[in-house]
Structure 1
């Protein structure tokens, strides 16, 4: 997708890998997102542009539970459901976001981990919802799944840009989108999107495909395998 006018720049994005294969022993991947800023006014006119790259993984529903210490015992004190939360979210920018756009613009384009658009399910107090949202972001930041780099984009000669975003080993497979924004004077003047696919291959990939295509048989096989392993373990312990 491009946002451009007669006098607005155009972004031409590229990614180092449009398909990332997750095999047994996968330790993560280093993704390079790069491209060019094409400005009708000429190369020198792009010197004042900032670049922000937002990489998002597949969305998924999630339930958060809050624990509280009651009578010396940790117990569930509350919970909240989100219909869609990105499994992975990373932002890289040429400068701190607060120096590039105002909070309203950052919220519209999700330019930062503080501006991730979550979809809560059911009726919940706004303050409680905000607390659970902060908890979700903090939890996934500690897992390396949400991250933000205020100096993660390099711009060369006002035309070429590049950003590196590391994908950890625990990433969710599925379609990823890399959105790149060119910003001038606090306004998004151009944007473009690149697609990335993270897939499981090998034996793990075959298991995933089997589970999706033949889910009833897959479930029955899993039950039979569990029963067989339990029976075998019982026989071994009986002999010992």
Structure 2
């Protein structure tokens, strides 16, 4: 009886004929005082247990998501000729960085139903369960958040940026801006057939401050009083020094 049930299950569940095998050029990024951005290479291959089906449209989609944080999105209105903050929305769990790259146009590589299920595109990732949460539903604030982070280089979408060779080998480069948040950056790779996700692979990249940047970061978060006094001392010393130099040059 048990053997019959196992046989039926093996027939009902098809074997995974294609599987993603991937890696990153580096699994750690160090942020120092001279850090002005970086670039990671994501590469891999599609391992097959059977010959490739050329009748389907295959694509690779890659996402890199940074640590989540809480942000306030504000809307400005013109009041008596002056632009002021009129309204704001608190958003929780917003990715500090989100990049999407694909081997073909996303509209061809991913169906809307699969995007809703896997939350791959930027807007779907922001509205994922357990992801970004708004104090009240208002698409204008979500659009503003995406627009601001896109202009800052924190959110990117690059279609046809994944090089897929002979339907087996793939690679792409993801640019990381200078203003990176410390923490884990989750990389996910999706294989799609006719717009449907057939396999996925996940790994992580760790970003960490080093040297003086690390010391200041730890001091600001663990000893805020000392950090504030030190900042005040540096500001007073810089002002006094600039004043002394100005008086000396006038003599």
TM exceeding 0.5: yes
Matched, 1:120 2:133: yes
Q: Name the TM-score, length of structure 1 as normaliser.
A: 0.86
Matched, 1:32 2:41: yes
Q: Residue in 2 aligned with 1:203?
A: 212
The separation in 2 between residues aligned to 1:171 and 1:19, in whole angstroms, is: 13
The DSSP-based 3-state class of the residue aligned with 1:116 is: helix
The separation in 1 between residues aligned to 2:149 and 2:116, in whole angstroms, is: 19
Q: Residue in 2 aligned with 1:52?
A: 61
Q: Residue in 1 aligned with 2:86?
A: 77
Structure 1 residues 14 and 65, CA, compared in 2 at 3 Å: closer, same or farther?
same
| Deviation readout 1:1-29 (Å, 9 max, x if unpaired) | xxx95133111110011101111121211
The DSSP-based 3-state class of the residue aligned with 1:209 is: helix
Q: Assess if the C-alpha contact under 8 Å between 2:76 and 2:84 holds in 1.
A: yes
The separation in 1 between residues aligned to 2:231 and 2:219, in whole angstroms, is: 18
The separation in 2 between residues aligned to 1:196 and 1:235, in whole angstroms, is: 42
Q: Assess if the C-alpha contact under 8 Å between 1:8 and 1:189 holds in 2.
A: no
Q: Residue in 2 aligned with 1:224?
A: 229
The separation in 1 between residues aligned to 2:191 and 2:242, in whole angstroms, is: 65
The separation in 1 between residues aligned to 2:109 and 2:150, in whole angstroms, is: 23
1:235 is displaced (CA, Å) by 9.7
* Length, aligned pairs only: 228
User: Which has the greater radius of gyration?
Assistant: 2
What does residue range 51-200 of structure 1 map to in structure 2 within 5 Å?
Answer: 51-118=60-127, 119-122=132-135, 124=136, 126=137, 129-200=138-209
Q: Name the TM-score, length of structure 2 as normaliser.
A: 0.82
Structure 1 residues 235 and 168, CA, compared in 2 at 3 Å: closer, same or farther?
closer
Unaligned runs of 5+ in 2: 1-12
The separation in 1 between residues aligned to 2:230 and 2:215, in whole angstroms, is: 17
1:236 is displaced (CA, Å) by 8.1
The separation in 2 between residues aligned to 1:58 and 1:30, in whole angstroms, is: 18
Structure 1 residues 50 and 235, CA, compared in 2 at 3 Å: closer, same or farther?
closer
Unaligned runs of 5+ in 1: none
| Deviation readout 1:19-57 (Å, 9 max, x if unpaired) | 011111212111110111112113x44784210001100
Compute the RMSD of aligned alpha carbons.
2.4
